[in-house]
Amino acid sequence: MNQWIIQAGIVFALLTPLSGFGQEKASPYFQIRVIDEQTGRGVPLVELETVNNILYVTDSNGIVAFYEPGLMDQTVFFHVRSHGYEIQKDGFGMAGVRLQTKPGGSATVHIQRQNIAERLYRITGQGIYRDSVLTGAPVPLREPVLNGGVLGQDSVLPALYRGRIYWFWGDTNRASYPLGNFRMSGATSELVAKGGLPPSQGIDLNYFVNEDGFCRPLCPIVNEGLIWIDGVTVLNDESGQERMVARYSHLRKLGDVLGQGLVRFNDDTQTFDKWLEIDLANQWRLPRGHAMRSPDTEDQYVYYMIAYPVVRARADLESLADPNAYEAFSCLAPGETFRSRNSVLERDAQGRPIYGWKKNTDPVEAKEEQELIQHGLLKPEEAHFLPRDVESGEPVAIHSGSVYWNAYRKRWILIGVQMGGKSSFLGEVWYSEADTPTGPWRRVRKIVTHDQYTFYNPVHHPFFDEDGGRLIYFEGTYSRAFSNAPSATPRYDYNQIMYRLDLADPRLRLENP
């Protein structure tokens, strides 16, 4: 009996068509790849929308996996749009393409880049290479669709520590509930020289996770409220060992700060421990924003910047722990507190404001300079941190960013986002350069625009610089927050996006008077 069943099974198998047996099943997806006409590289974050408003967004390879019952094996029109990129319009003013969809087929769409900087890939969040995986395209990441359980992450803080790159983020979203990790998330990656991916390809993040695979809190110093860190600083201790410290802020909610102080990284637990608490009256006398060291080996300071480096302390742990050791770059008279229209400036015998590093004196940067100019206490041409657009001549107020030395330009370069921009309130990114980290910063050039969408807290990663500093990489947080966007971009919203800038571009030759 059993033998008869086996023989019958063999006959049935021989008579059955080989659908999916011994061969790969044909893909149901029609692959659409959008490429930068200038470079031939796939462009992420390009929206393709059908006539009946079905929206698709390219992944980090510039790919859309299209499969829509009822719209296969026929001509389909896609509206095409993307921040800082354009596609040629037809005679009716339609910016898009007509494609003949076919399961398993493919098409390439060319798009023109208007941005000077080139958008490369998304760094965090779910589905970074979703459409590539669906269509079988190669991907560079070990975890191309979900890493660390992360759906969204806020504002990166990188640091080179003990031979690796450490990455820290603020509030982190998860799939299982709208509230995720609010006590800092983190990951590490390898430097290129030690086997890490080239920055042109991506960043293979190794997240610090809990048993459930989701990012664990790296600063669990309180049981309630939010913890944010910034000013991550790596210095040697007395024994010559690298130590990593940072400022922490304990918040009930945005704008409601309960406490602040310093934390130290514990290499045994791979978390930050509370080091000391600092009175809230010390608003600037502690690490903040991003830390920067000068390439000048004789410069013994570490500089801190939210946009421009206007706070510094000696580069030792004892100084970082002492609020009285901090200095501010300021044009105020020594010992003065900034009081808007009642501020007292320090001037020389010719009446010129004296900018310099001063103790017990409030820092002055773009926001304060704007107020001083408004009240007639400072002339626009005397300001250090109010550069002007090289095209329009209008002043550009930089909200946040970073300043680092660049070997290719042999100057200090700024990557910063404007507050109050025309295309978006907090989404236009600018480039500038100066002879010193404190300026004066005179001219800026827009390098990235986001149409009615936010791209805040951008930061340049000098450890990724290539070709002697000619190619630089920077990222920022792409978010609907602070914008008029009618809806959030699926998968991309509240995540980090990487850009690359070629400093040999002639449009970046800024003439400083």
The whole-number pLDDT of residue 15 equals 40
CA dist 301 and 97 (Å) reads 55
pLDDT digits (tens, 9 = 90+) for 393-450: 999 999 999 999 999 999 999 999 999 999 999 999 999 999 999 999 999 999 999 9
Residue 201, classified by CB atoms within 10 Å of its CB into exposed (0-12), middle (13-18) or buried (19+), is middle
% of the chain residues with pLDDT over 70: 95
Confidence at 13, pLDDT banded by 50, 70, 90:
very low
The whole-number pLDDT of residue 8 equals 41
Residue 71 has pLDDT above 70, yes or no: yes
Summarize the confidence of residues 241-267 as an average pLDDT: 95
CB < 8 Å & 24+ apart, contacts of 406-412: 406/433, 406/462, 406/465, 406/469, 406/472, 406/503, 407/465, 407/468, 407/469, 408/465, 408/467, 408/468, 408/469, 408/470, 408/503, 408/504, 409/433, 409/469, 409/503, 411/435, 412/436, 412/437
For the chain, the structural domain boundaries read 27-135, 386-513
Q: Mean pLDDT over all residues of the chain? A: 94
Structure token pair of residue 336: 């003065």
Bridging pattern class, strands 106-113 and 429-434: unpaired
* pTM: predicted TM-score of the whole model, two decimal places: 0.94
Summarize the confidence of residues 491-503 as an average pLDDT: 98
pLDDT digits (tens, 9 = 90+) for 381-394: 999 999 999 999 99
Residue 285 has pLDDT above 80, yes or no: yes
The whole-number pLDDT of residue 259 equals 96
Residue 513 has pLDDT above 60, yes or no: no
Which has the closest alpha carbon to 29: 63, 58, 67, 64? Answer: 67
Question: Length of the chain, please?
Answer: 513
Give the CATH number of domain 27-135.
2.60.40.1120
pLDDT digits (tens, 9 = 90+) for 104-151: 999 999 999 999 999 999 999 999 999 999 999 999 999 999 999 999
Q: How many CA atoms lie within 13 A of 43 on its CB side?
A: 29
pLDDT digits (tens, 9 = 90+) for 187-241: 999 999 999 999 999 999 999 999 999 999 999 999 999 999 999 999 999 999 9
Confidence at 24, pLDDT banded by 50, 70, 90:
low
